[in-house]
Structure 1
Amino acid sequence: MKISVQEGPFDAGAELDAFSHGRHEVGAVVSFTGIVRDREGGLVAMEIEHYPGMTEKAIAKIAEKARARWDLADILVIHRFGSLPLGQPIMMVATAAAHRRAAFEAAEYLMDYLKSRAPFWKKEVTRSGEHWVEATPEDEDALSRW
């Protein structure tokens, strides 16, 4: 299991290649990469803050819950912090399992958790000002299925 909370960019393709290389025990690798997007026009950057140590422990705890719930061979979670411009990768989740259903469900579970419960604080910086981003009702609904 690899969990990285980092300021610098990552290459999702290279990370996925490294994660899946030489895996003969799995039949499925699922990945998701989140990208900074402009929802309402005018976004300049997304600023993400976190508490080092606490964030990694919280993500590791939910990754262990995923591993216990689904038969996973491995998990990868990368999440960036700092100031991220539009179009930059913000996070990545990858899961490896013998079967696709476990890999897909575990990846969705991890993504839903990262979106709503992981201890990150996100601020949108726009041309007209700044505002903190809250979890949406849709984000909360996504968690209810788990």
Structure 2
Amino acid sequence: MKVKSRHRELLRSLLRVREALLGQFSDLMREAGLTAQQLRILASLDSEGEMEQRLLSQTCVIPGPSMVIILRGMIKQDLVYKRDFDGDQRRTLVGLTENGRALMKTVNPKMDEVYAAVGKQIPLKKLHEATVLMDEIYEHIKG
């Protein structure tokens, strides 16, 4: 029984941290009219540039079928575009439209403010250590 309890506690702790961090961005997302998933997509495309849809899914930790639905809405909002990969119609590239870039110009400074506020609450060294540990756990699980 204790093993199951520890596993549940780990999951509970991870979810609490996730929700607490997302909560820090709620005002920003509400003002921008974005969901957490849309913000992750826009931020990834803004920092990395145009990328293959499959890679974007992995980067943003959004399952492929959900990504298709989210991108459909973001295309209608003129925030992102999709195009076929050079000569391979099975692969799709996704990038920011001018409207998407303009939105990120207003969102990025606000995101920086949120990260700075979190950094004041939690020492950056601790955040870095937690990130490294979570990446290690992920690599062990996913192999």
TM-score by length of 1: 0.27
Q: Which has the higher strand share?
A: 1
Report 1 or 2 for greater relative contact order, CA contacts < 8 Å, sequence distance ≥ 6.
1
| Greater radius of gyration (CA) | 2
